Structure 1
Amino acid sequence: MTSTVTPSTSRATFAIGDERAARRVVDLLNESFEEGQAAVAAFERPDGTWDVSLHFSEAPDQASIRGLVALAAGGDIAQHITFDIVEAKDWVKASLEDLVPVPAGRFIVHGRHDRARVPPNKLGIEIEAALAFGTGHHGTTRGCLLLLGQVLRSRQPIRVLDLGTGTGVLAIAAAKALRRRVLASDIDPVSVHVARDNAGLNGAGNLVEAICATGFSAPQFAIRGPFDLVLANILANPLRQMATPMAAHLAPSASVIFSGLLPHQAQGVIAAYRARGLILRRHLIVEGWSSLLMQRAM
């Protein structure tokens, strides 16, 4: 395992009331900094409010940050910005300290240090913490794996896509269970690199083709489709926006597994895909996150 020690960074954090306001602030902040000056992120809480954070390699002008936020979200939000320092840390080592093998039906996700703890009747997926989302220790990943197990009990998909692959957990699970090739895509080149490494680590390097792509724009989607099974652990808004191109790349009776959804967001995704001819087969809630199994009509 390679150590990944991040340098100390300056951080600004604040909370904001809804998604529209959060998007407005994030867009303005992203437009206000040169590439590499700041990293901006926003995450939704279970109560519907949003946490916004900015990381800087050098100490920022606090008054300027407050002024930008005030423009987009108002002075009250700007006055409640918290500035602090995130100390240097080996995040990989720290994250592994709390990771234990995670069972999800027939699958079990584990780190290298827990290889010996994989039961013989489980399909092990070895994933180390890395600079990409998805060690298997998240309700969205577990929900997807549980639904994947359900699909595989009744059918053996031939053409499989993992959209938004992250560390490659779902692609590796499908490839190892089916012993078939899986196309895995992500918009983040770091994630693509990590997914390829993890596929090789799990003996599936010849089965998982990981590509960097936005949506369904890459030629590999047309070449490898139409898909019998799609796994898409992303976020609610991108899933809704991709409903039309997703449907265009599905084979008749294709199964689609969605996650990355808070329970109150699930109905909007269901409605978007129901309008494209998909039927809801199952809705799981794992650790406060929704995962959906939908199927295209014949």
Structure 2
Amino acid sequence: MTSTLTPQTYRATLAIGDEATARRISDLLTETLDEEQAAVGAFEGPGGRWDVTFYFAGQPDEAAIRNLVALAAGDGAARSVTFDTVAPRDWVRATLDELVPVHAGRFVVHGQHDRSKVAANKLGIEIEAALAFGTGHHGTTRGCLVLLGHALKAYRPRRVLDLGTGTGVLAIASAKALRTQVLASDIDAPSVTVAAENARLNGVGPLVEVTWGSGFSAPRLREKQPFDLILANILANPLRQMATPMSNHLAGGARVILSGLLSPQAAGVIAAYRARGLVLERHIRIEGWSSLLLCKV
């Protein structure tokens, strides 16, 4: 295995209580800092807390960073910023060491190094360790796979869509279980390439068509509708906003599997879809994240 030792990097972190403030900090620093020297990210965690993290190629000017945070969120937020360093590390090797096969009902998501550990009565989904995002270890992906297996026990959809496919795990799982054509889409162009390659590596390349597009505006989605099953592991706000177009792209009796939402956000998503004629069939929670199975009546 080729070594991928990363150099030492510098990091600054702070926790914020609401999304708007986190985005304001992230936007200001993204606009101000040289993109080749720094990266900024804001992520929602359990309990509604938002974590903002900055990574720097060289040692940052701590006073300048605090001043920028103060402009966006006040002196209290500026004082809460902590600075540290991230030691050099072979991230691919570390990922291989840490990623064990994930069992989700009849599906097992694994790396190449664990291919031999998949039982003959299970459907293995192999994801390269170097593409560790979307490997199935997150509670939302596991929840979707469990609900997919549950839905397919009594229902066999013919037209399947994986919306926001990422690495293609859900599209690959659907194609392996159904042995039928699956359409997968993503707004992120690199994800489209990654998902298509993962489908090929998993032996379902001819069954999984991956297309680029934003939500339901992608031409192939309009051409392929109505769908009998849509899987969407995204985020709560986009899922609520998509309730109407998603309902319009469904056949009668179709199933929808939704995830990417924290458990306290589930009620709002369920209500949005109920208003469009979709009723909840099953709701599971894994590690603070909710996954929903709904049926269009």
Q: What TM-score, normalized to structure 1?
A: 0.92
Counterpart of 2:229, as a letter, is L
Distance 1:197 1:93 in 2: 21
Residues 1:143 and 2:127 aligned together = no
In structure 1, the residue matched to 2:251 is 251
* Structure 2 unaligned regions, length at least 5: none
Paired with 1:216 and 1:137, the residues of 2 have a C-alpha distance of: 27
Tell me, yes or no, if structure 1 residue 39 matches structure 2 residue 39: yes
Answering whether residue 211 of structure 2 is matched by residue 211 of structure 1, we say: yes
Asked whether the equivalents of residues 134 and 169 of structure 1 are also in contact (C-alpha less than 8 Å), the reply is yes
Q: CA deviation at 1:171?
A: 0.6
Q: Which residue of 2 aligns with 1:270?
A: 270
After superposition, the Cα gap between the structure-2 partners of 1:185 and 1:5, relative to the gap in structure 1 and judged at 3 Å, is: farther
Query: Could you say what the CA RMSD is over the residues aligned between the two structures, in angstroms?
Result: 1.9
1-structure distance, mates of 2:45, 2:174: 30
2:241 partner amino acid: Q
Q: Which residue of 2 is the match for residue 130 of structure 1? A: 130
Unpaired stretches in structure 1, ≥5 consecutive residues: none
Identity in percent: 68
Does the 8 Å CA contact 1:256/1:294 hold for their aligned counterparts? yes
The one-letter code of the counterpart of 1:206 is: P
| 1:193-232 matches, cutoff 5 A | 193-232=193-232
- Whether contact under 8 Å (1:132, 1:194) holds in the other structure is no
Post-superposition Cα deviations, 1:63-117, rounded to whole Å, max 9, x if no partner, equal 3322221122111111111222323322222111022222111111111111111
Q: More displaced, 180-189 or 198-207?
A: 180-189
CA contact (8 A) 1:132 1:166 kept: no
Partners in 1 of 2:275 and 2:27 — Cα distance?
A: 30
For 1:186, give the aligned amino acid.
D
Q: How many residue pairs end up in the alignment? A: 297
State how 1:26-105 maps to structure 2 within 5 Å: 26-33=26-33, 35-105=35-105
**TM-score normalised according to structure 2 size:** 0.93
Q: Which amino acid aligns with 1:292?
A: L
Q: Is the 8 A contact 2:95 2:132 kept in 1?
A: no
How far the C-alpha of 1:246 sits from its partner, in A, is 1.8
CA shift in 2, pair 1:88/1:19, >3 Å: same
Separation in 1 of the partners of 2:20 and 2:269?
Answer: 18
Letter in 1 for 2:94: A
Secondary structure at the counterpart of residue 154 of structure 1: coil
Q: Secondary structure at the match of 2:130?
A: coil
Distance 1:244 1:3 in 2: 47
Cα separation, partners in 2 of 1:71 and 1:257, compared to 1, 3 Å: same
Q: Deviations over 1:108-141 (max 9, x none)?
A: 1111111111111111111122346211112111
